[in-house]
């Protein structure tokens, strides 16, 4: 082989290794951190799954799903923080990094207080739409009323996670998330089995974990400080240009989150009207799907951070390599989860509940869980590319179109095919999001992709 060809091959191999290493350095800790997130809901589901009363399991799963949907509405805070911090960090603007974190943390605390304070008024108005019956609603209300007391801490924790990810400090995010979930598991076991806390004990354990998590995060971030930034300036902190940018990003990402919230509501609604057994079985499968989503989303989160840094530094090569590595590694992860569910899905379900009718129903629909990782990875990674480059309008519009298609299709599909129709409609929603984003991305030149959307 000629020397030039050998050198070119070696350079390509080094480049491939480099892009995979850069992605894994951020993604692996984020995957592990993400995998701990649904443990808060899974811990409650697993403990409640062994209660004598099936309504308690259904109530906890409904309540946890409800709280998860509400908090999902505010994921725009983390995505905005990650994108802006990553681009500022790539441009070495430490003042903007620090100011963004302070602005958004204050906003998160205010929003959390607004969410928690009147929860006793608005939650009872929404729960009947799930059609789950009075016994299940009562247990769900117990759980939700307690869980939302931690809303200020939970939303501030979202900002801390976005900041750490934007600065590519993924190991710190992992340590904090793992610590919070370990506290949650220990408290849940103590309150439920040690103090006979029941549904209330599961909820209080999550509250303690969320406040402990944000306390640890603030100590870590404040301890590191911002030595390269000038003193904090109130004038700059309330600068209308920065506030407007965050406002535009937040608006579009909030609309995107609202649309996804509608899809989650419809999934829960059409599960609940099929009865307690289907509701509980689908809840278990959705928790497992969320587990897969958090794993693949680890690559999407890493993509947001690395794309943002590449745009801030105007580094076209890094942008290309980030996109390629994200799809390669997400594909491997999707295959691994599908294989786990294919070979061990039955054992996983039995671990989560001792009720044979619920377990049997969950196993009946396990094939959808095996298929979904291959369908969803495209929407997750393309989301990471568009959000990292702050092209959030495209992420918003494609999500709106996909959820509209899901909302139109789900009722006739459910009437025709039952629960299979429900899961098939959900799979179509995820596939459509990925296809629409892929088409837009393919129409952009690399220079356009390197340009910040806002």
| Mean pLDDT estimate for the chain | 81
Domain that holds residue 335: 19-449
**pLDDT value at residue 445:** 81
The yes-or-no verdict on residue 86 having pLDDT over 70 is yes
Nearest to 222 by CA among 75, 79, 102: 102
The yes-or-no verdict on residue 7 having pLDDT over 50 is no
pLDDT in tens, 268-319: 888 888 888 888 888 889 888 888 888 888 898 889 888 888 888 888 888 8
The answer to whether residue 14 is domain-embedded is no
Q: How far apart are alpha carbons 394 and 290 in whole angstroms? A: 24
Give me the DSSP letters along 188-243: HHIIIIIS--HHHHHHHHHHHHHHHHHHHHHHHHHHH--TTSPPP-HHHHT-HHHH
The answer to whether residue 438 is domain-embedded is yes
Q: How far apart are alpha carbons 256 and 248 in whole angstroms? A: 13
The answer to whether residue 180 is domain-embedded is yes
* Tokens linked to 84: 């802006």
In the numeric block, the tokens 């220079």 are attached to: 447
The answer to whether residue 5 is domain-embedded is no
In the numeric block, the tokens 């209660």 are attached to: 51
The answer to whether residue 454 is domain-embedded is no
The answer to whether residue 12 is domain-embedded is no
In angstroms, how far is CA 310 from the centroid of its own chain? 23
Q: How far apart are alpha carbons 34 and 427 in whole angstroms? A: 22
SS3 183: helix
* Tokens linked to 162: 């976005």
Q: How far apart are alpha carbons 452 and 388 in whole angstroms? A: 9
Instruction: Tally the domains of the chain.
Output: 1
- Model confidence, pTM: 0.76
8-state DSSP, 174:
H
Q: Which sign, positive or negative, has the C-alpha torsion 352, 358, 364, 365? A: negative
pLDDT in tens, 317-374: 888 888 889 999 999 999 999 999 999 988 888 888 778 888 888 899 999 999 999 9
Give me the percent of the chain exceeding a pLDDT of 90: 22
Q: How far apart are alpha carbons 137 and 377 in whole angstroms? A: 34
Residue predicted with more confidence, 446 or 252:
252
pLDDT in tens, 402-440: 999 999 999 999 889 989 999 999 999 999 999 999 999
Residue 229: count of CB within 10 angstroms of its CB: 14
34 contacts 297 by C-beta, under 8 angstroms: yes
**pLDDT value at residue 8:** 45
The answer to whether residue 10 is domain-embedded is no
The yes-or-no verdict on residue 205 having pLDDT over 50 is yes
pLDDT in tens, 125-145: 656 655 555 666 667 777 788
Q: How far apart are alpha carbons 387 and 382 in whole angstroms? A: 8
412 contacts 272 by C-beta, under 8 angstroms: no
The answer to whether residue 1 is domain-embedded is no
8-state DSSP, 443:
T
**pLDDT value at residue 202:** 77
Give me the DSSP letters along 70-114: HHHTTHHHHHHHHHHHHHHHHTT-HHHHHHHHHHHHHHHHHHHHH
Residue 331: count of CB within 10 angstroms of its CB: 17
* Tokens linked to 250: 């937040």
The yes-or-no verdict on residue 153 having pLDDT over 50 is yes
> At 41, is the pLDDT very low, low, confident or very high (cuts 50, 70, 90)?
low
């Amino acid at each position: 082989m000629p020397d030039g060809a050998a050198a070119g091959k070696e350079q390509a191999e080094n480049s491939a290794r480099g892009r995979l290493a850069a992605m894994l350095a951020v993604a692996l800790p984020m995957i592990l951190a993400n995998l701990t997130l649904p443990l808060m809901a899974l811990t409650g589901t697993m403990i409640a799954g062994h209660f004598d009363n099936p309504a308690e399991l259904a109530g906890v799963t409904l309540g946890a799903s409800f709280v998860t949907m509400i908090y999902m509405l505010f994921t725009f805070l983390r995505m905005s923080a990650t994108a802006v911090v990553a681009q500022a960090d790539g441009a070495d603007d430490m003042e903007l990094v620090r100011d963004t974190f302070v602005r958004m943390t204050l906003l998160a605390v205010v929003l959390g207080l607004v969410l928690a304070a009147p929860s006793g008024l608005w939650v009872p108005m929404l729960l009947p739409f799930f059609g789950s019956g009075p016994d299940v609603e009562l247990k769900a209300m117990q759980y939700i009323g307690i869980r939302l007391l931690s809303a200020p801490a939970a939303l501030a924790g979202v900002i801390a996670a976005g900041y750490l990810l934007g600065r590519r400090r993924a190991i710190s995010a992992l340590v904090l998330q793992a610590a919070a979930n370990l506290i949650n598991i220990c408290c849940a076991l103590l309150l439920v089995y040690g103090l006979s806390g029941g549904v209330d004990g599961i909820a209080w354990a999550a509250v303690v974990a969320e406040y402990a998590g944000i306390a640890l995060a603030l100590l870590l971030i404040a301890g590191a400080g911002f030595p390269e930034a000038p003193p904090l300036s109130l004038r700059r902190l309330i600068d209308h240009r920065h506030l407007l940018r965050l406002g535009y990003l937040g608006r579009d990402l909030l609309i995107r989150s609202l649309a996804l919230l509608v899809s989650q509501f419809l999934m829960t609604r059409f599960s609940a009207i099929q009865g307690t057994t289907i509701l509980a079985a689908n809840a278990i499968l959705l928790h497992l799907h969320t587990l897969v989503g958090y794993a693949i989303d680890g690559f999407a989160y890493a993509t947001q951070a690395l794309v943002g840094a590449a745009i801030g530094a105007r580094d076209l090569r890094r942008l290309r390599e980030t996109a390629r590595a994200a799809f390669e590694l997400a594909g491997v992860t999707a295959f691994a989860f599908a294989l786990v569910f294919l070979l061990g899905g039955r054992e996983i379900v039995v671990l989560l509940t001792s009720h044979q009718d619920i377990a049997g129903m969950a196993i009946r629909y396990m094939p959808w869980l095996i298929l979904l990782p291959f369908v969803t990875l495209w929407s997750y990674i393309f989301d990471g590319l568009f959000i990292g480059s702050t092209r959030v309008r495209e992420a918003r519009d494609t999500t709106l179109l996909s959820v509209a298609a899901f909302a139109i299709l789900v009722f006739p599909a459910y009437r025709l095919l039952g629960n299979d129709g429900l899961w098939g409609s959900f799979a179509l929603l995820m596939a459509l999001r990925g296809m629409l984003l892929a088409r837009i991305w393919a129409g952009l030149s690399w220079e356009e992709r390197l340009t910040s959307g806002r």
